[in-house]
Amino acid sequence: MRACDWFARSLQAAGISDFTWHNLCHTFASRLHMWGVELATIKDLCGHRTWIMALRYVHRAPGYPKKAVDRTATSPAEEEKPSERLTQ
């Protein structure tokens, strides 16, 4: 049995089609980026050798640019730290 067989069986049991393990890699990188994790860290966690490859995996959610601009209305001291966001 291959290591990915459990994943395929789980998708089939859940009735999910047109989804692969690879989709989760993009989700992982994108969520880390939106939580404020630095691209260098995302690159290392995903095992990418180049910055370009890391950038290919990072997809921002709709409304993300507005949230980034809205952050300028608060001081850095008022913001929660990325490590606090990851533990919530």
Residue 71 lies in a domain: yes
Residue 73 lies in a domain: yes
Residue 6 lies in a domain: no
Residue 3 lies in a domain: no
d(CA 31, CA 37): 9
Q: What is the pLDDT of residues 34-79, one digit of tens each?
A: 888 899 999 999 999 998 998 888 887 777 777 777 777 777 666 6
Residue 57 contacts residue 32 (beta carbons within 8 Å): no
Q: What is the pLDDT of residues 61-71, one digit of tens each?
A: 777 777 777 77
Number of domains in the chain: 1
More confident residue, 25 or 88: 25
Residue with tokens 């989760």: 24
Residue 79 lies in a domain: yes
> Would you mind telling me the total number of residues written for the chain in this entry?
88
Domain range for residue 54? Answer: 19-86
Residue 10 lies in a domain: no
